[in-house]
Amino acid sequence: MKIAVLLSGGVDSSVALRLLKDNGHDLTAFYLKIWLQDEFSFLGDCPWEEDLKYARAVCKQANVPLKILSLQEEYWDTVVTYTIEEIKEGRTPNPDIFCNSLIKFGQFYEKIDASFEKVASGHYARVEEINGKYILKRSPDPVKDQTYFLAYLTQAQLSRTLFPIGKFNKVKIRELAHHFNLPNMDRKDSQGICFLGQVKFSEFIKHHLGEIEGAIIDIDTNRVMGKHPGYYYYTIGQRSGLGLGGGPWYVVKKDVKNNIVYISQENKAIREQDEFNVGKFNWISGSPPHKKELGVKIRHGANMYDCMVEWLDDAKATVKLDKPDKGIAPGQFAVFYDDDVCLGGGVIL
C-alpha cells in the first residue's frame, strides 16, 4: 500500500513509520513546516531544527524518502487565527483539534499526490470499519489516548487514515523504539500546542496581544489581590501562574471588558460546575447519537465523566455531569464517548 506518513521527529510517529515499513508498505514521510517556525525566530535557538534533524535521521535509517511540506499560510488562515480570536474574546481555545481536522488530515490531503492510499500518523487512537462506516476508538493507554484531539474528523478523513501505534501503550512504544534502535528512541515526548512546538503559550500570547495590566480580585471579598498582564493569559480553573501567596487560588471568572481576573479560595460553588451548554458539533458518524447517557471528556487526559445529554434543539444541548468539575470554560471542547468509541464533540458555550 502507498502511504504518506506524517513524521514530526518524535518517537511515536517514528515507531509508526517503522511498523509500516516492516509490513512492506511503500512509504513517503512528510515533515510539515508551519508558520511559527519563522514567526518565533526572535527566541533564538530553533527547536524545529532539532525535530527535522531527527526526522531525517529516522528516514535515513529506514531508507524512506522525506519531503518537507510548507503549510504556513494554511495554519495562519485556520488554526492560528482561530486561536488568537478566541483568546481575545476571553474563551479557552483548543487549537490542536483544528490542527488535526483542518491541517494534518485536511489541507495535507489536498497537497499530496492522489496516488497515496492512506495517511498515517503517530496518534494514540484506533480506526475500525464496520459495515462501511468508520469509527474512532480510544487507545488502550488512557493517559496517552488522543481521540479527544481527533473528535472533529469526518468519515471521509477517517477512511484514509491509519494509526499504526493505536493498539499499544506508551511503554510498548518505547520498547519498540529501542528494538528499532531509532535515533530518537530516548527523546522526551513533546508537550503543548501543536503549532507552538517548544514555544511557551505565554510567549505566543505576548507576541500577538502584548500586555495590558489589570487587577486580580478576590471574588468573595472584592479585594484587589494583585496585578496581571492581561485577562487573556488566564483560563477558568487555572491555579498556577498567579504569583499569589496564601493559596490555593483558582481563576473563577474573567471580565473581558474591564480586564479583571477574579479568583476564589473559598467559594466552591463558583469554582465547580456540573452542567453546561454545548454547540457547534461534529459527529464522526455524520449524525448525532441517539443515546442520552454518554461519557464525556472536557479536556485531554484519562479523566472521563458520565453525563446526560439533553437536546435543546438541533444545534445545542445541555450536558449534566455525574460530578462537578473545577475547570469548565467557554471555548473548550466537550468530546463524547459511547464506551471506547469517540462519537465527536462540541464547543462549550
Q: Which three cell numbers stand for residue 215?
A: 487587577
Q: Could you give the percent of the chain with pLDDT greater than 70? A: 92
Mean pLDDT along residues 106-126: 97
Domain extents for the chain?
2-122+164-196, 211-269, 274-348
- Residue 99: active-site member: yes
Condensed to tens digits (0 to 9), the pLDDT of residues 63-88 reads 999 999 999 889 889 998 999 999 99
Architecture in CATH of 2-122+164-196:
3-Layer(aba) Sandwich (3.40)
Hey, what CATH topology would domain 211-269 get?
A: SH3 type barrels. (2.30.30)
Confidence label for 272 from pLDDT (cuts 50, 70 and 90)? confident
* Model pLDDT, residue 44: 54
Catalytic residue, chosen from 46, 59, 99, 342, is 99
Q: Does the pLDDT at position 296 exceed 70?
A: yes
* Model pLDDT, residue 297: 98
Average pLDDT, the chain: 92
For 131-190, give the DSSP string: TTEEEEEE-S-TTT--GGGGTT--HHHHTTEE-TTTTS-HHHHHHHHHHTT-TTTTPPPP
* Model pLDDT, residue 117: 98
Q: Does the pLDDT at position 269 exceed 60?
A: no
Catalytic residue, chosen from 59, 194, 307, 342, is 194
Mean pLDDT along residues 128-136: 97
Q: Does the pLDDT at position 307 exceed 80?
A: yes
**Number of helices and strands (H, E) in the chain?**
11, 17
Condensed to tens digits (0 to 9), the pLDDT of residues 41-63 reads 555 556 678 889 999 999 999 99
Residue type, position 166, single letter: G
As a whole number of angstroms, the distance between CA 41 and CA 38 comes to: 5
* Model pLDDT, residue 188: 87
Cα 16 from chain centroid (whole Å): 19
Q: Are 90 and 231 in contact (CB under 8 A)?
A: yes
* Model pLDDT, residue 201: 78
The CATH classification number of 274-348 equals 2.40.30.10
Burial of 151 (0-12, 13-18, 19+ CB in 10 A): buried
For 266-307, give the DSSP string: S-HHHH-EEEEEEEEEEETTSS--S-SEEEEESSSSS--EEE
- Residue 46: active-site member: no
As a whole number of angstroms, the distance between CA 327 and CA 330 comes to: 10
DSSP 76: I
